[in-house]
């Protein structure tokens, strides 16, 4: 995954905040994915327009974390979400 990639949310997922966590339910209600606070922050900002580099900037603005760690965590999170078909990579 490249930091300049643009991702989109796949349709049909139900998203609910539960405290610091974000619950993402698949369209059939059969699988639940739980994102932690930062994961929820990232998921919120995936909009099919902003590249991941802008999401990284937003993370650095809000969280006290060094850029390299944030970049690694961001890419690792979105790769998992793409694998699980919750997020898609825009062409």
Which spans of this chain sit near another protein (rule: CB under 8 A)? 12-18, 23, 25, 27, 29, 31-32, 34
- Nearest distance, CB of residue 3 and another protein, angstroms: 29
The Cα 27–Cα 57 span in angstroms is: 31
The Cα 34–Cα 29 span in angstroms is: 14
* 5 in Cβ contact with 49 (< 8 Å): no
The Cα 33–Cα 81 span in angstroms is: 9
Pick the closer one to another protein by CB: 1 or 23.
Answer: 23
- Nearest distance, CB of residue 34 and another protein, angstroms: 7
- Nearest distance, CB of residue 19 and another protein, angstroms: 8
């Amino acid at each position: 995954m490249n930091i300049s990639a643009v991702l989109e949310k796949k349709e049909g997922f139900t998203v609910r905040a539960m405290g610091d966590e974000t619950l993402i339910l698949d369209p059939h209600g059969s699988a639940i994915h739980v994102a932690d606070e930062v994961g929820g922050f990232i998921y919120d900002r995936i909009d099919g327009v902003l590249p991941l580099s802008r999401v990284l900037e937003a993370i650095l603005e809000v969280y006290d974390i060094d850029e390299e760690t944030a970049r690694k965590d961001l890419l690792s999170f979105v790769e998992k979400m793409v694998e699980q078909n919750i997020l898609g990579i825009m062409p």
